[in-house]
Structure 1
Amino acid sequence: MGKTYKVLLNDSSEYSITEEEALQLDSVAAGKSTFHIIKDHSSTQASIIAEDFLNKHYVVKIDNTSYTVKIKDELDQQISEMGFALNTAANIDSITAPMPGLLLDIMVKTGQEVKENDPLLILEAMKMENVIVSPRDGVIKSITIDKGQPVDKNQLLIEFE
């Protein structure tokens, strides 16, 4: 039996999908971040318009509607069930760049209160826009970079109080 993934759609609906079900989708890359998908004799086009690969969060556009998608693999599910995910996020005091790129936008200000999963920054890397979200509730202590600047992997971007 293959792996099972949990998919949270728009922070409201949760679905389970097995590896076998995912493989049954007939999908063809139609561009760098665009896919042509056929399922049950129905055809549609999907585009990934933002991604946070490390946290498995994506924004996908299908037929002019955008969806936020969060994926949990079996390890993520076990960690959540054991209650470790919340404790880990509470200890995060800074945001570093997950990859080199160009900082396109800063959506917060120093002193601003943020909630978990609030968008903080947009980082362009490999021609993809990656939304960096807050790992926890908190207050922005400092922002160490300006909009439009290039960033290196692991470069400090934001500090929390």
Structure 2
Amino acid sequence: MSNAYKLTVNGGNAFDVTEEGLSQLDAISTGPAHYHILKGNKPYKAAVTHADFLAKQYTVTVNNNSYTVDIATALDQLIKAMGFEVGASKQVNEIKAPIPGLILEINVTVGQEVKENDNLLILEAMKMENTFQSPRAGIIKSIAVSKGDAVDKGQLLIEFE
């Protein structure tokens, strides 16, 4: 793999950049995340105002104009060309009972907005109470069980919009 990057600015314009090209850039750090850049004898003030290192996305302000920059390495580009997305994860839209048990408590209602890790319900199985937490932020679309219901393994409990 080469040390080449594809920079996508504001979701549209794409630029191919190499580490060698970046090293030839006339830029001086003027403070934390602030830079003075000369390009073609024209000065620019730049600042990195937001950085999401894991998503490889940055917001850069140049002469008071903000730009969102996505950075993709050669490996990222190859993975995308193969039909995969880097960092993509499966969206959980429903919660099913992992084991048979009895619904002791339901802590949400249909239409309620929940955050990740909010308590949804408690299932008693084999004399143990199992608390189910929300795997993601979202809105409760339906609740397929009621307090006191006996459920089977794999039975739908809660569905997200």
TM range (shorter): 0.5 to 0.7
Aligned to 2:15: 15
Does structure 1 retain, via aligned residues, the 8 Å contact 2:48–2:60? yes
Instruction: Report the secondary structure of 1:84's partner residue.
Output: coil
**Separation (CA, whole Å) in 2 of partners of 1:78 and 1:68:** 22
Shift of 1:85: 0.6
Q: Does 1:91 align with 2:106?
A: no
Pick the structure with greater CA Rg.
2
- With normalisation by structure 1, the TM-score equals 0.56
Aligned to 1:102: none
Does structure 2 retain, via aligned residues, the 8 Å contact 1:2–1:20? no
Q: Does 1:4 align with 2:1?
A: no
- CA distance 1:92–1:33, change in 2 (3 Å): farther
Shift of 1:2: 5.2
Aligned to 2:127: none
Aligned to 2:37: 37
Aligned to 1:142: 115
Instruction: Report the secondary structure of 2:76's partner residue.
Output: helix
- CA distance 1:89–1:142, change in 2 (3 Å): same
CA offset digits 1:100-154 (Å, max 9, x no partner): xxxxxxxxxx73xxxxxxxxxxxxxxxxxxxxxxxxxxxxx42459xxxxxxxxx
**Separation (CA, whole Å) in 2 of partners of 1:31 and 1:39:** 19
**Separation (CA, whole Å) in 2 of partners of 1:43 and 1:14:** 23
Does structure 1 retain, via aligned residues, the 8 Å contact 2:4–2:17? yes
Instruction: Report the secondary structure of 1:159's partner residue.
Output: coil
Does structure 1 retain, via aligned residues, the 8 Å contact 2:2–2:74? no
Q: State the identity %.
A: 34
- CA distance 1:143–1:2, change in 2 (3 Å): closer
Shift of 1:20: 1.6
Which structure: greater helix fraction? Answer: 1
Provide structure 2 residue ranges, at least 5 long, that are not aligned to the other structure: 93-111, 119-134, 138-159
- With normalisation by structure 2, the TM-score equals 0.56
Query: Cα RMSD between the aligned structures?
Result: 2.8
CA offset digits 1:19-38 (Å, max 9, x no partner): 22111101111111101111
Matches within 5 A, 1:31-110: 31-85=31-85, 89-91=88-90
- How many correspondences in the alignment? 105
Does structure 2 retain, via aligned residues, the 8 Å contact 1:2–1:19? no
